[in-house]
Structure 1
Amino acid sequence: MHLFMATLSTETNTFSPVPTILSDYEAYYLRHGTATQDAPNLMTEALHVWRQRAEALHWSVTESLTAIAEPAGLTTATTFDALKNEILDDLRNSAKPDVILLQLHGAMVAEDEPDCEGRIVSEIRALCPDAVIGVALDLHCHLRPRLLEHADLLIAFREYPHDDAAARAKELFSLAKRQLSGEISPQIGMFDCRMVSLFLTKTDPMRAFKKEMEAAEDIPGVLSVTLGHGFPWADLPETGARMLVTTNGDLPLAQETAKALGQRFFELRDEVAMAYSELDEALDQVEATSSGPIVLADMSDNSGAGAPGDSTYVLEAILERGLRNLASAIYWDPDAVQACVAMGEGAEIELDVGGKVEVASGRPVNIRGRIMAIKSGLKQHLGPALEPLGRMVWLRLQGEIDLVINDLRIQVYHPEVFEQMGIDLSQKHLVVVKSLFHFYTSFAEIASDVIFCATPGRVNPNTARIEFKQRDLNFWPRVHDPFALD
C-alpha cells in the first residue's frame, strides 16, 4: 500500500489589507517533503503520526509539501498556485497512492479562489479517483460543499486551544485504513448551526458539550463527530459553526445525528460563547485587584486570526494609567528588533514600537528603555507541538515594565515566551498577552485571574459587529433565533 501526504495551512482574514505571500510561508514554515525530519509543530503533528502508522504497516510513503503561514489577508494567486501545483506535481510523479491524507486548515482563501481546500481536494480527486482521501482540519474551518463532495473523510481538531492534533490524526488514519480494507463506507451529514462566534473548549459548558459529541460516536453506525467552529473574520457565504457526522454507509443517520447535535449546540448558544470585557473595564479590574499575576488577553490583536500583531492600544492605555510591574508580549516589529540588535544587549534605547502595519495597528508608541536580552532560535509549546518565535528582544521600561518584541508574527501560546527571555512572571502583577484563546491552558496554571479583553483591533470578538457582505446576516448573535422563520 502507498500513502501520499501533504500539509498546506493558513487561516485567512478576508478583512485584512495585508496579503499573504510566498515569503510568509518561507518565514514561518516551508518544507519540500522533509517536514517529518523536524520536530513536530501543530500542523505537522499529523504527518509524523501518519508516517509512523504507515511504516509500521510496511506501506510506502510519499511526503509532499508542507507550507504554513501565520494568518493574514488573502494569499496571492501566484503563491496559492505555486503551492497547490507543487502538491499536484508530487502526486503525478509518485506511484499511484491508495490513501491520500492531507493536513489542511479549512479557512484558507486566495485572491482568485475563495475555497482553497475544496479546490485542492477536487483536483486531487480528479487525479486519483479511486484513492481514499482523508482531510484533517483546524477547528476553525469552513465546511463547504466542494470539500464534502470530494473527500471521503473529514475530521477537525476538537479542542480549542488546539492540543489534540495527534489524536485527530490517529483517528483519521484508522478510518482511512478501515475504508481501504472495505470494512466501512463513509457517509457524511452536515448541519449549519447558524452561529458565528468563538468557543473555548477547556471549560464548561463547552467541555460538557464536547463529551456529548464524543458519546454520540457510540451510536451504532456513527464513525466520527466533528464540530467546525468556523472562522468569524472571513466574509464567505459559509462562515460559521457547522456540525459534521460521519457514519458507516448510512446517510440519513449522518444527517439526523448532525442535526440533533447541531440543534443541541444552538440551544446552548448563550452559554457556550466566551465572555469578555472592554479595555477600560478590564484595566479597572486590574487596578482593583491586589493579587497577581493577572493575565489579560489582548484578543483583538491576535496574529493567529490575521491581526497585525503590532497594535498599541493596550500599551498606550497602561502607560497612560501609569501601571507598573507588568510584562507584555509579543509585539511584531522587525524594524525595532533590528535597531535593538544594532545597539546590543545592555544598551539604553529610544524607539517607536508598534502601530506600523495597517490601520488596525493604532499608532507607534515612543518608548525609552534598556535592552535586557536578544535571543534567536527560541520556540514555544502549543500542546506538545513547538512553534517558532523568531528573533526576540526584551526591553525594560521605567524599571518595571517588561516588553517583548520580535521579527516573526506569532501569538503568545505559553509562558515560555517570557521565561526564556529571563522574565519571572510570578513576580508580576499584570501579564498582557496578544492572543485570543490559545494561551489559556498554560497561563491559567500560573494566573490568579484571566481577563479576556475585547481591545480595539482587527479581530474584535464581538462577531455581531462584523461587516459581512457575502455572508447573510441571519446568524446568532446578530439575530437571537435565526431559525425562527424556517
Structure 2
Amino acid sequence: MKIAVIGVIHETNTFAPGLTQIEAFQSEWVHGNEAFLHRYSGTRTSMGGAIDAVAAAGAELSVGFYTAATPSGMVTKETVNTIIEALVESADTSADGIVVILHGAMVAEGMPDVEGEILRRVREKMSASQPIALTLDLHANISKQMVENADIIVGYDTYPHIDMYERADEAVQLLVRTLKGEIKPVNALAQPQMIVVPQVMLTDKEGPMKDIMDRAFAIEQDPKVLNVTVAGGFPYSDVPDAGIAFVVTVDGDLQLAEQYGAELNKLAWDLREQLRYADHPPDQAVAMAMELTEGPVILVEGSDNVGGGAPADATHTLVHLIDPPKKSLIVIYDPEAALEAHRLGVGAAFDAEVGGKSDKLHGDPVRIQGEVRLLSDGKYTHIGKYMTGKWAYMGKTAVIEAGNLTLIITEERSAPWDPGHVSSVGLRAEDFHVIVVKSAVAWKTAFGSICRAIVPVDTPGCCGSNLSHFSYEQLRHPIFPLDVFPE
C-alpha cells in the first residue's frame, strides 16, 4: 500500500495589512520524502503524525510538496497559483490514497476558498478509487466544496491546538481502513449560521465550546460514526463560509450523518449567548493587572494575534506600560528596531521608536529608552506541548530593558506558541508580574502552566473581539451575532 502526502498551511486574515507573497512560505518549503522526514520525523505535528501512522500501517510513504507560512494578510494571486500548481503536480497518482494537510482558512486574491480549489483539483487528478483524507485546523472555515471533494475529514479537537499529531494519525488510519474495504465513509456538513471569536473556542476548560466538543465525542461512540469534526471557524477571513461548522463522517449512512449534524447545529445555536466575548480597555486592563498581588498576569491582546494574521506590532497596550510599577514583558515585531539593537550591541543605550509601523489601526510608534541586554539569532526548537520539536525562527532578536519593562523585539513576526518564545533569549517568564501576549488562546501552550490571572484587553486591531467593527463584504447572511434573528 502506498499513501501520498501533500499540504499547505496558511490562516488568512483578510483584514490584516499588506499582501502575503511567496517569500512568506519559503522557510517551510519542503519537497519529497527525504526533506519531509528530515524536518518532521519525531515532531508532534500533523506531518509527524502522518509519517508515523503510515509507517505503523506498513505502507509506503510518498511525499509530494508541503509548505506553510505564519498567519497574515490576503495571499496574492500569483503566490496561490504557484502553490496550488506545485501541490497538484506533486500528488503521486500511483498512490492508493492521499492525505492532504490543510488549515481551512486560506484566502487569496480572487479565490475565497483556496482549500476547496486545492481539493477539487486533487480530486480531478486522482481517480475515484483513490480516497482523499483531509486534516483541518479547528479554525477552518469549511465549505461545501471542501466536503464534496474529500472522503475523510478530520479536524483538531483542541484549542490551544495540541492534538494535530493525533488527528493526522486518525486520518491515516481511516484512510487505510477505507483502502482495505472495511468502511465506506460519507460526510455531512452542517453550519449553524454563527460566527464567533477565537477567545470563546477554548476546549480545555468548562464553557460552550467544550460542551459542543463533548457532545461530538459522545456521537463518535456510535459504531457507525467514524469522526465528528467541530470547527469554530476563523472570523477574520471575509468569506461566505466563515463561522462555526460541523462535519460528521459516517460509515455508509448519509442520513445518520445529517441527523447528527442537525443535532450539533441546534446545540451550538442554543449556546449562542454564551459564545459572546467581553474584554477591557488597555488602560483599565493594565491597572487591573498591577493591582493583583500574584503573577504572572497575562494581558491577552487578542486584537494583535500573530496566530490570526495580525502584524504583532500594535502599541495600544505598550503605551500604558512605560515605566510600570511591576516587572512587565512584551514581545513586539519591529525589524528596524531589532536591527538597530544589533548594530548598537549588548550593553549599549537604546533610544528608538518601537512598534506601530504596520498601519494606523494598530497604534503609533512608542519611544523606548533603555539598555540592550541580550542579542539572539532568534532560532529555537519547540519544547512545549504545541508541535513539540518544530523549528521556530524569530529573526534577529533583541532584549531591551527599560526599568521594569522588558521588550523582546523581533525581526520576524513571532507567535507565543511555545515557552522557547521567551526562554530562548535567556528570560524566565515566571519572573514577570505582567506578560502581554499577542494571541487569543494559543499563548496557553507557552504560559498556561505559570499563569495566575488573565485580563483580556480590548484594543483596535485586525483580530479585534468586536466583530461588528469589521466591514464584511463576502460573509453570508443572516448570521449571529451580526444580524437580528426572530425569536
TM-score > 0.5 by shorter chain: yes
Separation (CA, whole Å) in 2 of partners of 1:280 and 1:312: 12
Separation (CA, whole Å) in 1 of partners of 2:109 and 2:157: 29
Residue identity over aligned pairs, in percent, reads 28
| Deviating more after overlay: 78-87 vs 442-451 | 442-451
- Tell me the SS of whatever aligns to 2:3: strand
Q: How does 1:205-220 map to 2 (within 5 A)?
A: 205=207, 206-220=209-223
**Runs of 4+ residues over 6 Å off in structure 1:** none
Q: Which residue of 1 aligns with 2:397?
A: 393
Q: Which residue of 1 aligns with 2:350?
A: 349
Residue 287 of structure 1 pairs with residue 290 of structure 2: yes
Separation (CA, whole Å) in 2 of partners of 1:353 and 1:441: 27
Cα offset for 1:342?
1.3
Query: How has the CA–CA distance of structure 1 residues 330 and 422 changed in structure 2, closer, same or farther, with 3 Å as cutoff?
Result: same
Contact 2:397 2:411 survives alignment (8 Å):
no
Which of these residues, 246, 251, 256, is aligned with residue 253 of structure 1? 256
Residue 169 of structure 1 pairs with residue 168 of structure 2: yes
Cα offset for 1:212?
1.7
Cα offset for 1:7?
1.8
Query: How has the CA–CA distance of structure 1 residues 13 and 95 changed in structure 2, closer, same or farther, with 3 Å as cutoff?
Result: closer
Query: How has the CA–CA distance of structure 1 residues 95 and 141 changed in structure 2, closer, same or farther, with 3 Å as cutoff?
Result: closer
Q: Which residue of 2 aligns with 1:437?
A: 441
Contact 1:371 1:393 survives alignment (8 Å):
no
Contact 1:243 1:259 survives alignment (8 Å):
no
Contact 1:302 1:459 survives alignment (8 Å):
yes
Cα offset for 1:119?
0.8
Extract unaligned runs of 5+ from structure 2. Answer: none
- Tell me the SS of whatever aligns to 1:455: coil
Q: How does 1:350-369 map to 2 (within 5 A)?
A: 350-369=351-370
- Tell me the SS of whatever aligns to 2:174: helix
Q: How does 1:411-422 map to 2 (within 5 A)?
A: 411-422=415-426
Residue 160 of structure 1 pairs with residue 162 of structure 2: no
Q: Which residue of 2 aligns with 1:54?
A: 54
Contact 1:202 1:441 survives alignment (8 Å):
no
Deviations 1:265-289 (A, max 9, x none): 2212222444433323312311322
Separation (CA, whole Å) in 2 of partners of 1:225 and 1:274: 26
Contact 1:41 1:387 survives alignment (8 Å):
no
Deviations 1:408-456 (A, max 9, x none): 2121123432222222333322111111110124423212201222222
Separation (CA, whole Å) in 2 of partners of 1:121 and 1:348: 54
Contact 2:212 2:264 survives alignment (8 Å):
no
Residue 427 of structure 1 pairs with residue 431 of structure 2: yes
Separation (CA, whole Å) in 2 of partners of 1:53 and 1:379: 23
| Deviating more after overlay: 55-64 vs 212-221 | 55-64
- Tell me the SS of whatever aligns to 2:457: strand
Q: Which residue of 2 aligns with 1:402?
A: 406
| Counterpart residue identity of residue 328, structure 2 | A
Separation (CA, whole Å) in 1 of partners of 2:247 and 2:42: 26
Contact 2:304 2:312 survives alignment (8 Å):
yes
Cα offset for 1:156?
0.9
| Counterpart residue identity of residue 414, structure 1 | D
- Tell me the SS of whatever aligns to 2:317: helix
Cα offset for 1:327?
3.2
Separation (CA, whole Å) in 2 of partners of 1:61 and 1:287: 54
Q: Which residue of 2 aligns with 1:69?
A: 69
| Deviating more after overlay: 235-244 vs 377-386 | 377-386
Extract unaligned runs of 5+ from structure 1. Answer: none
Cα offset for 1:328?
2.9
Q: How does 1:316-327 map to 2 (within 5 A)?
A: 316-319=319-322, 322-327=323-328
| Deviating more after overlay: 383-392 vs 362-371 | 383-392
- Tell me the SS of whatever aligns to 1:339: helix
Residue 140 of structure 1 pairs with residue 131 of structure 2: no
Deviations 1:227-253 (A, max 9, x none): 111110111111110111111111111
TM-score, scaled to structure 1: 0.93
TM-score, scaled to structure 2: 0.93
- Tell me the SS of whatever aligns to 2:87: helix
Contact 2:327 2:404 survives alignment (8 Å):
yes
Which of these residues, 290, 300, 305, is aligned with residue 302 of structure 1? 305
Contact 2:104 2:136 survives alignment (8 Å):
yes
- Tell me the SS of whatever aligns to 1:374: strand
Cα offset for 1:86?
1.2
Q: Which residue of 2 aligns with 1:117?
A: 115
Residue 30 of structure 1 pairs with residue 33 of structure 2: no
Q: Which residue of 1 aligns with 2:10?
A: 10
Separation (CA, whole Å) in 2 of partners of 1:472 and 1:145: 13
Q: How does 1:328-343 map to 2 (within 5 A)?
A: 328-343=329-344
Q: Which residue of 2 aligns with 1:104?
A: 102
Q: Which residue of 1 aligns with 2:205?
A: 203
- Tell me the SS of whatever aligns to 1:313: coil
Contact 1:190 1:243 survives alignment (8 Å):
yes
Cα offset for 1:53?
2.5
Cα offset for 1:40?
6.2
- Tell me the SS of whatever aligns to 2:454: strand
Query: How has the CA–CA distance of structure 1 residues 383 and 346 changed in structure 2, closer, same or farther, with 3 Å as cutoff?
Result: same
Contact 1:300 1:458 survives alignment (8 Å):
yes
- Tell me the SS of whatever aligns to 2:321: helix
Separation (CA, whole Å) in 2 of partners of 1:39 and 1:148: 27
Q: How does 1:225-244 map to 2 (within 5 A)?
A: 225-244=228-247
| Deviating more after overlay: 355-364 vs 100-109 | 355-364
- Tell me the SS of whatever aligns to 1:270: helix
Q: How does 1:175-190 map to 2 (within 5 A)?
A: 175-190=174-189
Q: How many residues align?
A: 477
- Tell me the SS of whatever aligns to 1:388: strand
Contact 2:375 2:397 survives alignment (8 Å):
yes
Contact 1:345 1:373 survives alignment (8 Å):
yes
Separation (CA, whole Å) in 1 of partners of 2:42 and 2:470: 31
Contact 1:330 1:411 survives alignment (8 Å):
no
Deviations 1:78-97 (A, max 9, x none): 11111111122222xx4511
| Deviating more after overlay: 154-163 vs 352-361 | 352-361
Q: Which residue of 2 aligns with 1:375?
A: 376
Cα offset for 1:379?
3.5
Cα offset for 1:104?
0.5
Separation (CA, whole Å) in 2 of partners of 1:229 and 1:80: 24
Query: How has the CA–CA distance of structure 1 residues 343 and 442 changed in structure 2, closer, same or farther, with 3 Å as cutoff?
Result: closer
| Counterpart residue identity of residue 121, structure 2 | E
Query: How has the CA–CA distance of structure 1 residues 341 and 176 changed in structure 2, closer, same or farther, with 3 Å as cutoff?
Result: same
Q: Which residue of 2 aligns with 1:192?
A: 191
Separation (CA, whole Å) in 2 of partners of 1:474 and 1:325: 47
Separation (CA, whole Å) in 2 of partners of 1:317 and 1:460: 19
Separation (CA, whole Å) in 2 of partners of 1:160 and 1:116: 23
